[in-house]
Structure 1
Amino acid sequence: MLLTITISISTLVVINFLLLKFSSNKINRTPKATKKPIVFRPTIALEQESEKLAPTGS
């Protein structure tokens, strides 16, 4: 019984690997075009606020 289960599982694993190797879902990968990176340099003017401290009551 144990031998039968082992042979069955081994057969299923081998069939699975064969299906994986010879599957028809091939992906055609095109080479990526070499593009220069786009660098964003935002010009944001930051205004400094005056420090306002909350009253502590002590």
Structure 2
Amino acid sequence: MLFTITISISTLVAINFLLLKFSSNKTNRTSKVNKKPIVLKPTIVLKQESEKLAPTGS
């Protein structure tokens, strides 16, 4: 009986390894990565405000 259990478990393990080796669930990974940043508003203009000084009275 022990011999039968050992053969059964060994057969199941061997079938499991065969299924793992020949499984068809292979994923295709794309190595193409876009490294350019996405610019949403390319025309940003910074306006400098002139300094308004308070009158000192002197």
TM-score bin (small chain): 0.5 to 0.7
Q: Which amino acid aligns with 1:4?
A: T
Task: Find the counterpart in structure 1 of residue 14 from structure 2.
Answer: 14
Kindly tell me the number of residue pairs found equivalent between the two proteins. Answer: 38
The offset of 1:33, in angstroms, is 1.1
Structure 2 unpaired stretches of 5+:
38-58
TM-score normalised by L of structure 1: 0.55
1:15-53 Cα shifts (integer Å, max 9, x gaps): 00100110111111111415268xxxxxxxxxxxxxxxx
Task: Give the fraction of aligned pairs with identical amino acids, expressed as a percent.
Answer: 84
What TM-score do the two structures reach when normalised by structure 2?
A: 0.55
Unmatched runs of 5 consecutive residues or more in structure 1: 38-58
Segments ≥4 residues shifted beyond 4 Å: none
RMSD of the TM alignment (CA)? 1.9
Larger radius of gyration: 2
